[in-house]
Structure 1
Amino acid sequence: MPETNRTRSSQDAVLPRGVTDPLLWRSAYDVAEAHRPDDAGRCSSLLCAGRPAPCGPSEAARRAMRLAGDADRRAERGEPDARVAARRRRAA
């Protein structure tokens, strides 16, 4: 059976200060990333079939991120510590 390790964008995102539900925040972050608008302003997810952005799943994800904790801080992209990110991938 082939190995299918998938890395989600939330694994490398730094949780904002004040997040009280990391699982909810990371799940919502992944949905928001999957439903980002393209250059034409339409949702890039195949599930939305080119609907205008922001789509329903994107709005729900943003709301879930706010409910998970501090809405004033945004995730910093990139890997703050490459060893931590690599360890998370191996554990997944």
Structure 2
Amino acid sequence: MNGKDVRKLVIACDAGMGSSVMLAGHLRKSLKKQNVTVEHTPVDSIPSDADVVVCHTGLAARARRGAAEGTPLVQFEVYLGDPAVDRLVKAIKDGGEVGG
């Protein structure tokens, strides 16, 4: 999927508190000029209309089960400053490929 086609990005987390909420806020700020909605949701309740799901690597298996088939899943290790998240933001801004 091309990053320019992303309209809904979902941060999937386990507890719904703390670091993942900060990541969602950071992504909202980073993507403010793009037409992208950033939502924060429990990993077991990923909406079917998500274009991209972002989650910690420890939740990837659960996120894959909960996301619609074919939805790219971006996994990260560090909540702020992770290279995978930085690549995603760049792809959305510049139109690069968003992998799954």
Q: Same fold (TM over 0.5)?
A: no
More helix by share: 1
More strand by share: 2
For the pair shown, the structure with the greater C-alpha radius of gyration is 1
Per the shorter chain, which TM-score range? under 0.3
Instruction: Normalising by structure 2, report the TM-score.
Output: 0.25
